[in-house]
Amino acid sequence: MEVVKNREAAAAFEELAMPLFDQLYNFAHWLAQDRAEAEDLVQETYAKALRGFSSFQPGTNFRAWMYRILRNTFLTSRTGLQAATVGLDLEEAAELPARTESPEAVLIDQSQRETLQAALQEIPAHYREVLLLCEVEEMSYKEIAETLSIPIGTVMSRLSRARGALRESLKKKMMKV
């Protein structure tokens, strides 16, 4: 009986989790910035998620749950630990209102995609992840808050800072060219 139940759960898990595979991999690679490490991250995420699947509440957000596992796995990895120590304490010291800067004339076209990709690689990992969740995964602030285990207010201020950091990084790159 137990076996049948497990098998059903594993099948349900596979059906929910495999469609997220490409996205999760993309996200993992952006975080880890390395193919082998991204693969390890994704593989471990799937293994952990399958093991913990019984604790997943049906009806709640599966996607946010998977991303949260992936991200926590990343944070405990070697690269993740290094990335996490950069800048976070500065940023979250106070819940300041988001300081938004006008984007000025940073106009982007297709040819500058590579510059933008490089700029994205350069900003701190916690900025990169919040931007990716918002722009690429198109998660709502609530989902992002769930994924990163932070309040919605922090999502807003972090996003705003992330955008600012990206603009700064881009500006520097464009000046060099």
Partner 1 sequence: MDQWTEKLDTYLDGELSASEMRAVQEHVRGCPACAADILSRVQMKRAVQAAATKRFRPSAEFRQRVRAQIEPRSGFMPVRVWAIAAALLIIVSLVLLSGRERKMARQQVFNEIADLHVSALASGNPVDVVSTDRHTVKPWFQGKLPFTFNLPELQNSQFILVGGRVTYAEQSPGAELIYQVRKHQISVFIFQERAFEPLAGEEARRQSSFNVESWSQNGLRYFVIGDASPQDIHNLTELMRQAALS
19 binds partner 1 (CB under 8 A): no
101 binds partner 1 (CB under 8 A): yes
Among 20, 41, 125, 134, binds partner 1 (CB under 8 A): 134
Spatial neighbors of 94 by CB under 8 A, at least 6 apart, are: none
Closer to partner 1 at the Cβ: 121 or 149? 121
Among 41, 42, 66, 145, binds partner 1 (CB under 8 A): 42
**Span interacting with partner 1, options 60-68, 71-79, 82-90, 98-106, rule CB under 8 A:** 98-106
Question: Angle at Cα 96 formed by Cα 91 and Cα 97, nearest 5°?
Answer: 125
Structure tokens given for 12 = 């349900």
C-alpha to C-alpha distance for 158 and 53, rounded to whole angstroms = 30
DSSP SS3 for 51 = helix
86 binds partner 1 (CB under 8 A): no
CB of 142 to partner 1, least distance (A): 9
Binding to partner 1, residues 46-85 (CB under 8 A): 46-47, 50
Nearest of 174, 94, 83 to residue 129 by alpha carbon: 83
In DSSP notation, 4-58 reads HHHHHHHHHHHHHHGGGHHHHHHHHHHHH-SHHHHHHHHHHHHHHHHHTGGGS-T
Check: CB of residue 113 under 8 Å from CB of residue 159: no
**Span interacting with partner 1, options 4-12, 60-68, 69-77, 79-87, rule CB under 8 A:** 4-12
The residue ranges that bind partner 1 (CB under 8 A) are: 6-8, 10-11, 13-14, 17-18, 21-22, 25-26, 29-30, 35, 38-39, 42-43, 46-47, 50, 97-108, 110, 112-113, 116-117, 120, 131-132, 134-136, 140-141, 156, 159-160, 163, 166-167
